[in-house]
Structure 1
Amino acid sequence: MDESRQRILVVEDEPDTVFLLKQILRIAGFNVLSAPNGHEALKKLAEYQPDLVLLDIMMPEMDGWEALNHMRKMSNIPVIVISALGSKEDVIQGFSEGVDDYLAKPFYNAEVVARVKAVLRRAGRPQEVSRLVFPQVDLEVDLLTQEVLFHRQSIRLTPKEFSVLSVLAKHSPAIVSYSTISQSVWGEDSQDTRKRTKYLVYLLRRKFEKVQPRFELILNVDRLGYKLQSEP
């Protein structure tokens, strides 16, 4: 993948449409990645920091409007809706929700490219993602302010507790090795730092369990590391 090219995230559950959009945009000089639903889109937004999102509305698990709401918490990334919902009311709702442009299906290939380029010119470079959201477990982690919301309740963390949580959140849903956490939080990996990390995880669990007693947010994967449980 040519890193000098701008990245477009296509959020669409119809494989033929995804294939077509990828072909159109790659020929036009963009790098393209895709997500079949809103949940995957939020993960890829945080991981790959795309320059623009092409967003379908009617999708399983999380529709486009809900996905857009979460994206706006994470970044000012420009969003173009491409949807079979093309009535005036749908278009008005789109702009009311904060989209940058709206295309109804079926679309013309050249129009897609022209709209994408126009929105990118107007928008400039989007800010880096500073807020991670996990709607399936109702968790939000702000990397700048260190604010943590769990089921809409504020969780007060010490700086080191937040450091552990942020490492897990950035890598979620992957397992994060004990050594990676130690290096990130303490700047070194040793038996002593791993013990300190273990104690911090214990404290984090206690704080989150006060809000959701029967849900374990941080899982210990034996001999491998910890992972954030980002799905219920």
Structure 2
Amino acid sequence: MLILDDDPLTAETIAHIARFIGMEAKFTTEHQAFFQALEEWLPDVIALDLIMPEMDGNQVLARLAEQDCSADIILTSGVEHEVLESARRSADENGLRIAGLLSKPFSAAQLRELLA
């Protein structure tokens, strides 16, 4: 699992939960490091925060679509659920595989359920 979230504590928490259930997990708070790790590692699952400085989650999704990303994507955000749903629809229309939506704050059980 590769995680991009501008909040290092959230990113580390997601990585910890993923590792707890036996997944390999890496995280970053910067989009440039995310895309470099994506090229080097080709993860099966991506967790992506929608609201970030510099390059927001929708811009990251657009770039993932351009790269024909085949990973399952979990969208995370502290914004209203409708914003997450809108991002999901856009990603679906662009051929990305959205595995689920995770509203912040979330519980470990919610994330584990999405990863199962």
55, 58, 62: which is aligned to 2:55? 62
Paired with 1:57 and 1:43, the residues of 2 have a C-alpha distance of: 19
95, 119, 126: which is aligned to 2:88? 95
**Structure 1 residue 114, shift from structure 2 partner:** 1.2
Paired with 1:43 and 1:65, the residues of 2 have a C-alpha distance of: 18
Q: TM-score, normalised by structure 1?
A: 0.45
Paired with 1:95 and 1:19, the residues of 2 have a C-alpha distance of: 23
Corresponding residue of 2:44: 51
Query: Which structure 1 residue ranges, 4+ long, deviate > 3 Å from structure 2?
Result: none
Cα gap change, 1:41 to 1:17, in 2 (>3 Å): same
Structure 1 counterpart of 2:109, which letter? Answer: A
Give the structure, 1 or 2, with the largest relative contact order (CA under 8 Å, sep 6 or more).
Answer: 2
**Structure 1 residue 17, shift from structure 2 partner:** 0.9
- Structure 1 spans left out of the alignment, 5+ residues: 1-7, 118-232
Paired with 1:65 and 1:38, the residues of 2 have a C-alpha distance of: 12
CA contact (8 A) 1:39 1:62 kept: no
> Is 2:77 the partner of 1:83?
yes
Q: Percent identity?
A: 25
CA contact (8 A) 2:19 2:25 kept: yes
Cα gap change, 1:81 to 1:67, in 2 (>3 Å): same
Q: TM-score, normalised by structure 2?
A: 0.85
Listed one character per residue, the Cα deviations across residues 126-157 of structure 1 (whole Å, up to 9, x for unaligned) are xxxxxxxxxxxxxxxxxxxxxxxxxxxxxxxx
Aligned to 1:31, the other structure's residue is in SS state coil
The CA RMSD measured in Å over matched residues stands at 1.4
Corresponding residue of 1:108: 107
CA contact (8 A) 2:12 2:27 kept: no
Paired with 1:112 and 1:81, the residues of 2 have a C-alpha distance of: 11
Within 5 Å, give how 1:82-231 maps onto structure 2: 82-88=76-82, 90-98=83-91, 100=98, 101-117=100-116
Aligned to 1:85, the other structure's residue is in SS state coil
Corresponding residue of 1:225: none
